[in-house]
Chains A and B, each alone.
Chain A
Amino acid sequence: MSELKRDKNGRILFTKEMKKEYTILIPDMLPIHFNIMKNVFTHAGYKIELLDNDGPKVKQLGLKYMHNDICYPALLIAGQFLDALESGKYDVNKTALMIMQTGGGCRASNYIHLLRKALIKAGYDNVPIISFNLSGLEKNSGFKLTLPIVRRLLAGVIYGDLIMLLSNQTRPYEIKKGDSDRLIKKWTKELSNQFIASKGYSFAQMKNNFEKVIQSFSAIPLKKEIKTKVGVVGEIYVKYARFANNSLEKFLADENCEVMVPGLLGFLMFKVDARVQDFLIYGGSRLKYTAAKTLLGYLEKIESAFMEAIDKSRFTQLSSYKDTKPLVKGLIGLGNRMGEGWFLPAEMIELVKHGYDNIVCTQPFGCLPTHICGKGMVHKIKAMYPSANIVPVDYDTGATKVNQENRIKLMLSVAREKLPV
């Protein structure tokens, strides 16, 4: 049994011994991505379990142990963790939790601290929480993001984006129900196997894989049908996680829509770029600037390979990260870096430009950054692009599905007027 160690402020550490004995719980956000990424960690010797527990109890636990005015994602994630710990499925003396910590000016950077407070309140003060971040916040001897892991994770993100993009464009039209989901399963397994064999994440291998994945999705037989094209943007967690957005994608699918959800890579690039922009706007350490710029360059290179591969197919894709910047000129500054920042309105405009002019902008109720970059930009985007049909929707424990769906239905009614009959 691993010894419990704490740092000088009483934070319980995740030690090397724990790595062997402990199961790490991670709240799922994007099933495709996270399943690939889970396998990366498993291969590196961690015991990982993705949490997809849902339901009223999760919300209740969140409400009970978190400040009720905290953002919905924080509340849900805490609820998921606590529900899992209480479920009896895990030995609480051999379980650790892991969440992402961004370190920006938004409240999200504090989730981990609030979660810790919640765990103490609920009597789980011996459960270590691992901060997943690339900014060097909170170190743990038992958890290290080594270069091989980071490269695989990054590849996982990109494959996830690709598969999500392709399946979103095949699933609504498939003749044989389940074709797309079968392929998702197949590729998750195949790519994970490649990672285990130390393959699949070099530049050349990725290129190769891209083509194969695209080919396989291109081969799915589809029917010709006109569907309402809807883009989904918003705060990163409620945009992706079905727990948070009341299964928005399923609702839209049932409403006969084709959905486009921008991928994770763009957001990642936006976060890296924030440091580049900070330097350009305010000045600062040239070294940090160069490092961020190099990393951004690397990501851009992968992105362009990814985009080239799709360009050769019949699938629609959005612009490259770089090309989104001019879109927000005169709308919002590139210094807007907290939360989703300027990249959120950029995504909305991109969607409009690529034929997805019906947009659901998902926000947690009372989310501070999206007051500005979500809801706050809709008015002007509509003035710039009159065809834009955007509905901001708030998500919260108190907000009901019926109200949300009602608002989305209105957006869809307007959308359908424009559909050719």
Chain B
Amino acid sequence: MNAPIVKLGRTASFVLLLFLPLPIVVIGATSFAAAGYLRFPPGELSLRWYAEAATDPRWIEAFLTSLGIAAVVAVLVTAIAFAGAYACHRLRPRWLPAFELAVMSPLFFPHAALGVALVNVLAMAGYLGTATGIVIAHIVCTLPFAWRPIVVALQKIDGEIVEAASLLGADERRIALGIALPLARSGLVTALLFSFIISFDEVTVTMFLTGPQVTTLPVQIYAFIQENASPVLAAISTATVVVTLLVVMLLERLIGLEFFVAHDPA
């Protein structure tokens, strides 16, 4: 092996890797700078931007709205995905490949197009600018992400267990809720946390759907950047990073992160 080249490649790759969290780190550093902007050499530290954010009802409301919407979306989409994926798994309909392609199809839509499409349908239903509308839109956007891990988890269940339960007299409800549900929990937890974080951080589609009554944290951050880029934004942004980091770490603890780099069997 030509070691120097490999070593050089490794160092360069590491530098590139550190480039990924760079803007987040910069925002985090800014949020603690008393001056409100980052400079070199660094100035005095302070928590004033956090205090300002925490006492502004607009930010509290947007933060709670985003958490609430993300929680509702995560639970609903995981339930929808489990029910659907379980039925597909047991019934193995002939049209399964077409159905799965349809489930995945929102992934092939550029977000701007998806946003317009959802505005059209939500406006017709009278849900534009409401939390319900945002929840519906997020369910459409996150279903592909919740579907995949659940299908993978269901495929890992040993068929003989189901067979045995069935022979011992378990009815379908018992098989679904007593056997498949607990055995597929790695997929369920992944779907739950993954869809939570996507919903919590989504901005491009959501910005079409917010209104005077309801807005989410990322959309409000966007609006404030355009109006006045106050350093409070750095504190708020850091708070969203912390939420995201916590969820990723929770997923790592509970299930592991292998799902993200598992090869897609489809």
Q: A and B bound?
A: no
Q: Which residues of A are at the interface with B, using a C-beta cutoff of 8 A?
A: none
